[in-house]
Structure 1
Amino acid sequence: MALPQADNDYPLSEVPDDARKPFASLALLLLGFTFFTATMFAGGQLGAAFPLGELLALIGVGNLLLGIYAAAIACIAARSGLSTALMSRFALGEHGSALADLLLGVTQVGWYAWGVATIANVLVSTLGLTPDWAAPLMVLFGFGFCLTAFVGYRGLALLSNVAVPAMALLIAISMIIAWHDGGGWVGLSAIAPSASLGWAAGITIIFGTFVSGATQASNWNRFARTPRQAITATLLAFFIGNGLMVLIGAVGAFVYQQPDVVEVLILQGLTVIGLAMLFLNLWTTQDNTIYNFAAAGCNLLRTRQRGWVTLGGAATGTLLALAGMDALLVPFLIALGTCIPPLGGVIIADYVFLRRGHYPRLDDAMLPAFHLPGLSAYALATLGAWFSPWVPPLVGIALALALYPLCCRCLGQRSMKPAL
């Protein structure tokens, strides 16, 4: 079978104005990215620990913080036309940006392996197949899910245009049934928490589950026609969309002791719909995930062959899934997620405090091999986040924003005003 034609998608340069995309396309693509099974499991943890009224407030606060962080990076991406990996050249230096590429690339290919293993194992279990089916299914979905990412933004958008409305309809059907089964607002409000969590831990779960994705949403927001469109689409996805996923997981845990909407649909007697939901849910996240890997990989290798880097990432993720490493990867990836928010904080601080809201063209920029203020601020902020007992991702971002100007001053780096 011949591969579809891969679009360039500007892996090593700014997205030009004539390649920018309409708002609806961007919003649906980002919503497809945030419709993620793991987020529902996070909601299940919260649903077991908070009464309904407090849970809704917690979901609102946690996802608003996540949305604001993602929107800040989205605004920079729309104004500059650059991905997170390319922004990191300014923040960390030409060679220093390899650190960002490795962090972002390893995280994304790891989550890709988890998704490939998840769909194969669920299908084997639900359909009553023998365990021997797991490996060929992993290969099938490992390379199948990456085809839309291989094409590029165009392929991602085409899938999201179909999948997001379909998933919204399936979720609505399931939640209406769950609301009825749970006794409505009165019945759900009467359910007493069975676990104990504080607000700090709750916000950490909400914010930490998708903060790595929020850091890399610039890979699509660089296609926005205006910063306002990028900010609006990002808030729609990360505040509303991600918040909805957390709430769905919580309601499923309340009513059925099962946070995953796919399992809930099966318990509701809608097995075929549940499997369709699983397929769409994972595909719209998996292709975005491996697209993120390609963005980081192209910057690391300094290659414009984005399509082939995408295939290489899919092959790596499939091999990890076949090796049974998905169970071991998740704790590692969550830990690695603590290291990514400070990178976003350094990028924002570099753009605001040093670049004064303006990047020169990447081809014209005279960048050092290693930008010591950015690397120093990143290292200190990551250490602070790692040892913080309170919301490590937020602590990492806040420390990066505070430390970057200090590191610039201590290391003699002056702000760079744009030429008039």
Structure 2
Amino acid sequence: LNIGQAGGWDAFLALSVDKAANSESPLSVLNGVNVVIGSWIVGAVVMAEYTRFAKRAWVAIAIPFIVLIIAQWFLQIVGALGGVVYGGDGDFTSYLREQAGFIAWLGVIGMSVALWTTGDANLYLPVIQTSSIMRRPRRVMTVICGLLGTILGLGIYQQFLFWIGALAIWVPPLIGPVIAHYYFVARGKMDAGEDARLPVVNWAALFAYPLGLLSYYYAPEWLVPALSGLAGSMVAYLVLYYLVPPLRGLAKA
């Protein structure tokens, strides 16, 4: 539909090039790739928290596949096509409102429901963590986290692209030590009672995170920042874990 409204594929490509050339704040290919990869990594990091109560293993695998492979690709493609043809402020809901008739109503209602359910799921993660750490009732932390998220979201919404780019840099190094420990230290074998033998604090993992962040600033310009941070924290964790044994932490009593 968008390609047809642009006047065909050739006209669509010409319009895309023209908008990129005349943009006040153009997005480079590297930054665009970083945003996409980083957002996928962020989704993968939090997905395990949402699927850990699945009764079947295939359900836990199917949900991330549908969300990250099918839905994510669809939204990114539709958003990119609509952004080229309609421009505007880049707001997906504004783009949907510009469509006529049934598509406009369906899009607005669908996005409203999607935002509601997404916000509900996103609220679950900080509530579980903060209520456990701060020893507060989940209902209290739900209200607090919900209010903070709403207030912060009012400002972040205006700088959404910057926020996504920042997450693409901050989050990947966070999961690096987990990946490195599971695949290289534990060799992909962790039984159900493994958590009972894990240290209270794994200092190697804590130090690996800032080192992974630093790798972003020293990585080559052609390397995607999200991947450099992920790889940097993985390497830092393995080096600290094997060369500085005290950083592994003390086992649980």
Q: Partner residue of 1:310?
A: 142
1:228 positional shift: 4.7
* Counterparts in 2 of 1:391 and 1:326: CA distance versus 1, 3 Å: same
CA distance in 2, matches of 1:214, 1:407: 25
CA distance in 2, matches of 1:183, 1:230: 43
Q: Partner residue of 1:348?
A: 179
Find out whether 1:188 has 2:24 as its counterpart. Answer: no
Aligned pairs, number: 235
**Kept in 2: contact 1:342–1:396 (CA 8 A):** yes
**Kept in 2: contact 1:350–1:374 (CA 8 A):** no
The higher-RCO structure (CA 8 Å, 6+ apart) is 1
Q: Partner residue of 1:368?
A: 199
Calculate percent identity across the aligned residue pairs.
27
TM-score by length of 2: 0.76
In the alignment, structure 1 segments of 5+ residues that lack a partner are 1-176, 416-420
CA distance in 1, matches of 2:157, 2:63: 33
Q: Partner residue of 1:246?
A: 76
* Counterparts in 2 of 1:336 and 1:220: CA distance versus 1, 3 Å: closer
The correspondence of residues 269-418 of structure 1 with structure 2, limited to 5 A, is 269-270=100-101, 272-302=105-135, 305-320=137-152, 325-326=155-156, 330=160, 331=162, 334-356=165-187, 357-358=189-190, 360-361=192-193, 365-388=196-219, 389=221, 390-412=223-245
Find out whether 1:211 has 2:35 as its counterpart. Answer: no
Q: Partner residue of 1:42?
A: none
The Cα offsets for residues 293-329 of structure 1, whole Å up to 9 and x where unpaired, read as 21321342255x43432222112223446xx644577
**Kept in 1: contact 2:174–2:209 (CA 8 A):** yes
* Counterparts in 2 of 1:337 and 1:265: CA distance versus 1, 3 Å: closer
* Counterparts in 2 of 1:343 and 1:198: CA distance versus 1, 3 Å: same
* Counterparts in 2 of 1:227 and 1:341: CA distance versus 1, 3 Å: farther
Q: Partner residue of 1:23?
A: none
The Cα offsets for residues 67-118 of structure 1, whole Å up to 9 and x where unpaired, read as xxxxxxxxxxxxxxxxxxxxxxxxxxxxxxxxxxxxxxxxxxxxxxxxxxxx
**Kept in 1: contact 2:38–2:172 (CA 8 A):** no
TM-score by length of 1: 0.49
| 1:268 corresponds to which of 95, 99, 103 | 99
**Higher normalized helix content (fraction of residues):** 2
In the alignment, structure 2 segments of 5+ residues that lack a partner are 21-25, 249-253
Tell me the amino acid that sits aligned with residue 17 of structure 2: P
